[in-house]
Structure 1
Amino acid sequence: MPDLTQPVLPAGTLSRIPQPTLPTGDGLVLRPWRAEDAPAVHEAFQDPLIHQWHIRRADSEEEVRGWIAEWQGDWTGERTAQWAVADEASGRLLGRVGLRQIELLDGAAEVAYWTHAAACGQGVAVRATTALTRWALEEIGFERLELLHSVFNEASCRVAAKAGFALEGTKRRALLHPDGWHDMHLHARVRGD
């Protein structure tokens, strides 16, 4: 049965090109993950705030190397697109930003991020999210990007607002965290915002 609409983004939109490095223009760079990032990611995942707001933990650097291999492979599979957020001058890892649940047919994805404890309070998540959003909407042609966070995570709510993601509503009991079910704020940006 023929479709009445064309895909917003055809298959191969991402995989036909190498994953780009995206400068933020203000001292950060979003770059593809490297195996040598494993120690810094493992260290970041020892932070109690990461445990509070994420559903994954890192028990070893070996485990993290497996994650990085997944993240690298996901680009060609067009399922997710993950970047390391680093200081442009020193190369020091400051966090992660990515697109999850990529739906090329609908031109939609979910933005996700975390920041290393040593970089919190420096605007890293906002700057990285803004750069990724600009690239995804303006250069690649995504139509809609969503951002979800626990209603109790006020810092993520501030990141979403500062990055231009409008609050659209609350998804009740949408994600199971270690301390129970959390309602999640749903923010979004669409092309042209």
Structure 2
Amino acid sequence: MADIRHTSPARPFPELHGHGLRLCRWNADSDADAATWLRGHSDPDFQRWNTPLKPVTDLADARDALRFRERSAEDGNCAQFRVTDAESGVTLGHIGVGEIDHVLSVARVGYWVLPEARGRRVAVRALALTARWALTDLGLNRLELGHALGHEVSCRVAERCGFRYEGTLRGAMFEAGRRDAFRDVHLHARIASDPEPAVLRPGPAVP
């Protein structure tokens, strides 16, 4: 069982601790955080499966992206976490809860893992930790997860964390590296009444 310590869900959102991870806020004024954000978005595997609305091609772009997320968090529209190893403090990746609708009690979650941290179930552990917080302390009823059709690794992460496959959304996200063409998306979701998954059971390797 993860040891999850938290404060009130009031802004700013809390740090999350569990499954050997510490999830904390990104800092746009930190050179290290900006460089890590840029490196994550420059990774070929990230670019294969994600096309951000605004490209991140240099440190200035990275800082702008982090500042935008800080403002959105202050407004209560998203919660963005830097995923770090609980013991060493080394950054492993990112997970965010965005598009938070407090009226309909729904949001969307997304994540990425740095190349050197893959194969250690970082995404599974971070998603399990974040989903539990979002569906309890944050008070959401539904948390959605979408990934590009064909991204089997992300599919396994979602399923292992209790996000059921609900269907395919046609033309719901940009093609890799393009903003004039679209591709299909697998939609997964988990609701507050779903049972807590046993995320650390043995199984196929995932990030």
On whether the aligned pair clears a TM of 0.5, the verdict is: yes
Which residue in 2 is equivalent to 1:89? Answer: 87
C-alpha separation in 1, matches of 2:79 and 2:19? 22
Distance apart, 1:143 and its partner CA: 0.3
SS at 1:114 equivalent: strand
**Cα RMSD for the two superposed structures:** 1.5
C-alpha separation in 1, matches of 2:183 and 2:99? 20
Distance apart, 1:22 and its partner CA: 0.1
Distance apart, 1:17 and its partner CA: 3.5
C-alpha separation in 1, matches of 2:12 and 2:40? 27
Change (3 A) 1:78 1:18: closer
Query: Identity, % of aligned pairs?
Result: 37
C-alpha separation in 2, matches of 1:156 and 1:18? 28
- Are 2:13 and 1:19 aligned? yes
- Residue among 23, 27, 35 paired with 1:34: 27
> Which letter does structure 2 place at the counterpart of 1:41?
W
Give the unaligned 5+ runs of structure 1.
1-12
CA contact (8 A) 2:49 2:151 kept: yes
- Are 2:70 and 1:98 aligned? no
Which structure 2 residues correspond to residues 41-120 of structure 1 after superposition, within 5 A? 41-56=37-52, 57-120=55-118
Which residue in 2 is equivalent to 1:139? Answer: 137
Question: Deviation digits for residues 99-149 of structure 1, max 9, x if unmatched?
Answer: 111111000000111111111121111111110100011122100000000
Give the unaligned 5+ runs of structure 2.
1-7, 195-207
SS at 2:103 equivalent: coil
C-alpha separation in 2, matches of 1:66 and 1:17? 20
More displaced, 75-84 or 157-166?
75-84
Distance apart, 1:58 and its partner CA: 2.0
- Residue among 157, 160, 171 paired with 2:158: 160
C-alpha separation in 2, matches of 1:120 and 1:185? 22
C-alpha separation in 2, matches of 1:90 and 1:68? 23
- Are 2:177 and 1:184 aligned? no
> Which letter does structure 1 place at the counterpart of 2:16?
L
C-alpha separation in 2, matches of 1:43 and 1:73? 22
C-alpha separation in 1, matches of 2:110 and 2:78? 10
C-alpha separation in 1, matches of 2:13 and 2:108? 18
**Count of aligned pairs between the two proteins:** 179
Distance apart, 1:18 and its partner CA: 2.7
Q: Runs ≥4 in structure 1, deviation > 4 angstroms?
A: none
